Copies of this chain bind each other. A is one copy, B any other.
Amino acid sequence: MAVTIRMIAEKAGVSRGTVDRALNNRPGVNAEVAAHVRRIAKELNYEPNAVAKALAISKRKLRIDILLNSGQNPFFEKVRRGIQNGMREIRSYGITVETFELTGFSVEEQLQKIDELMQNPPNALVITPINDHRVIDRLNQIAAEDIAVVTLNMDVTGLAKLCFIGCDYVRSGQTAAELLGQITLGDISVGILTGSAHILGHQQRVNGFSQVCEQDYPRIHVRAVAETEDDNEIGYRVTKEMLENHSLDALYFCAGGIDGGIRAVKECGLEKKLKIITVDDTDNIKAYIESGIVNATVCQQPMKQGHDAVTITTDWLLHEKRPSRKHLYTQNEVKLRYNLD
């Protein structure tokens, strides 16, 4: 038989309202009474009933805003689907979730959109923050106003966030290097196509990749690194340039613009010769894997990222439940032809 506030109230000789106030540290309770109630709750091993709490709290009309720099990036389709799933799961909680999207990584645009959202402040803000001190400062202000801030897919340091939800980018790069090491023999020249040095995750993937090459596979030599700015046209151009100027055995695509890059590979007639490792599993990448152009891809559970962003934020708003860790890393999933789905 589970312990309820009614039992605590009886044992403490106070009303249920007072128990509620004491246990939830609400103001206006005599300190001694509160202490007494808390002691009894502890003795009885009281665990609040989350369902009842959620039902009662549904009167509060809480709101979560989600701001994604998703742009044209097909990767974010799955994040969006995860968000939808999460919303369906919390439908009965009376919490409103609104999603806003930006294209590109302009600091000004992100700041402006944040200000716009703050005209009508939500109870929590989930965001893919740009790694810039102005953004970080602004978000810290928001966090100070008792609005929970959750970073999704992209992280920044020095922010008083509830948590980060996304992949461990260093590990992602390391895993890609290890894969390449296992599927090759002898001296190998590799080129890296990253997104932007200004995006922390991209940088971390490059670093993780390079580090494992040096440390575990010194026969693998990183000959060139170029930036696609997550754009297919630029991706095409820089990949083409790279392939024309270097004799490479392998490519590591660790950001957006992969479709452009693959087009360049095909144009150079190198799709049979090159070993290629990518990130994520958009429909196009799945097709490349099925046709053997790409050997493997390292994914990051985008649906889970979207889903967890909603449910973890909800758990915080309803139950003040902090996630188990500050950084909730999703699995770096290695996908090949036969475990694609």
Contacts and interface: CB of A to CB of B under 8 A. Distances in A.
A183 B339 CA distance: 16
Contact of A175 (B185, B295, B339): B339
Which of A174, A295, A338 counts the most B-chain CB atoms under 10 A from its CB? A338
Contact of A92 (B49, B58, B185, B337): B49
A155 B334 CA distance: 26
Interface string A154-177: 000000000000000001101101
B50 A182 contact: no
A310 to B, nearest CB: 15
Given A333-B331, A339-B331, A51 B92 contact: yes
Contact of A336 (B92, B93, B334): B334
Interface in A295-312: 295-296, 298
Interface string A44-87: 00010111101100100000000000000000000000000000
A295 B182 contact: yes
A178 interface: yes
Contact of A178 (B2, B179, B182, B338): B338
Contacts of A94: 2
A99 to B, nearest CB: 20
A91 interface: yes
Given A171-B339, A175-B338, 20 more contacts: A47-B91, A49-B55, A50-B92, A51-B51, A51-B58, A52-B92, A55-B55, A175-B336, A175-B339, A177-B338, A182-B182, A182-B336, A183-B183, A185-B185, A208-B338, A331-B339, A332-B339, A333-B334, A334-B335, A334-B336
29 contacts: A2-B94, A49-B92, A51-B54, A51-B58, A51-B92, A51-B93, A52-B92, A55-B55, A171-B338, A175-B336, A175-B339, A177-B338, A178-B336, A178-B337, A178-B338, A179-B336, A182-B182, A182-B183, A182-B336, A185-B185, A212-B338, A298-B339, A331-B333, A332-B338, A332-B339, A333-B334, A334-B334, A334-B335, A334-B339
Interface of A: 2, 47, 49-52, 54-55, 58, 91-94, 171-172, 174-175, 177-179, 182-183, 185, 208, 212, 295-296, 298, 331-339
**5 closest A-B pairs (Cβ-Cβ)?**
A174-B338, A334-B334, A51-B92, A332-B339, A50-B92
